[in-house]
A and B are shown apart, each in its own frame.
Chain A
Amino acid sequence: MAKKTTKVEAVSAAETEKKPYELMFILKDMLESTYKKKLKDFKEFLENGGATVSVEDIWGKRPLAYRIKGKDDGIFVVYNFIAPTGFVHEVNEHLRIDTEVIRHLIVSVPKSYSYTVFKEEPAEEKPVKKENKPFKKNRRVEDREEKPVKKEEKQETHEEKGKPDKANLDEKLDKLLGGGDLNM
């Protein structure tokens, strides 16, 4: 019996040993207020489990390199925390079950590690097309300028057509039917 108790003690001691970890996960695209509330709850969950959160970095919305679970972009979040080793399994399970988390990654980090933000090199800017190109005078350009005027006219006519006067219609019908033009 004595042996067993010593084993249990050893295991618990190993689980309570604290190590630095880095956690990154991707949330589904959602409103800023909703995901901030969610992250606040998650941070509380970490702290209740005995972890001390040193860094919380929200990258914001970012495109994914490839499609994951039918999503093309997500909200990237990074945490750095020191936690007992047993608790990390709990965190892993918590994120696995969560349906709003697309993917997550927990990595153990060396003790000398300090969080650094890497600046991505800006993508090569496409050559901007000149806005005011000297066009040759074409018929098409003239047509474009004239078109909206025509549309307005059309709209007016539509309005007229849309509201047919009942009195006029009746008169016309009377003329047609009772005018004697039609010899039945």
Chain B
Amino acid sequence: MAKHIFSTNQKHPLGKRRCTFCTNQIEYIDYKDLPTLKHFVDGFRRIKNRYYTGACLNHQKQLANAVKRARFIGLIKFTN
């Protein structure tokens, strides 16, 4: 996966927000991809809401799954 800039889409109004995964044509979100996953985790290590990530429903579900897998295998902390 090439380097992508994952913005939280907060600059755009609600109607014009687009999923960053869709625009970059990413089909599968890998749980080993820690540099991208860190953008979608809170300061308290909680998974960010769809309102903040700007991801579509399909990708948000994949994302949550990836974060949970990474937590389980010991790549990411559950909490601080």
Binding site for B on A (CB under 8 A): 24, 26, 64-66, 68, 74, 78, 103, 105, 107, 109-110, 112-113, 116, 118-121
Residue from A107, A116, A120 within 8 A of B31 (CB atoms): A107
B74 interface residue per 8 A CB criterion: yes
Among A66, A105, A110, point to the contact of B77 (Cβ < 8 A): A66
Report Cα–Cα, A121/B3, bound state, in Å.
12
Task: Report the bound CA distance from A118 to B71 in whole Å.
Answer: 17
Cβ–Cβ < 8 Å partners of B76 in chain A:
65
Q: Tell me if A's interface is mostly helix, strand, loop or mixed.
A: strand
Taking a contact as CB atoms under 8 Å apart, the answer to whether A118 and B73 are in contact is no
CB atoms of B28 and A103 under 8 A apart: no
Instruction: List chain A residues, Cβ under 8 A from B74.
Output: 26, 64-66, 68, 74, 103
Chain B contact patch, size range: 10 to 19
Asked if B22 is at the interface (CB within 8 A of a chain A CB), the reply is no
Residue of A nearest to B65 (CB): A107
Closest to A109 in B: B28
In the complex, chain B residues whose CB is within 8 Å of the CB of A118? 1, 30, 32-35
> A118-B34, A118-B35, A120-B34 known; A103 and B27 CB under 8 Å?
no
A23 → B minimal CB distance (Å): 11
Further pairs besides A110-B27, A112-B27, A113-B28: 18, Cβ < 8 Å: A24-B32, A24-B73, A65-B75, A66-B74, A66-B77, A66-B78, A68-B74, A105-B69, A105-B73, A107-B31, A107-B69, A110-B28, A116-B1, A118-B32, A118-B33, A118-B35, A120-B34, A120-B35
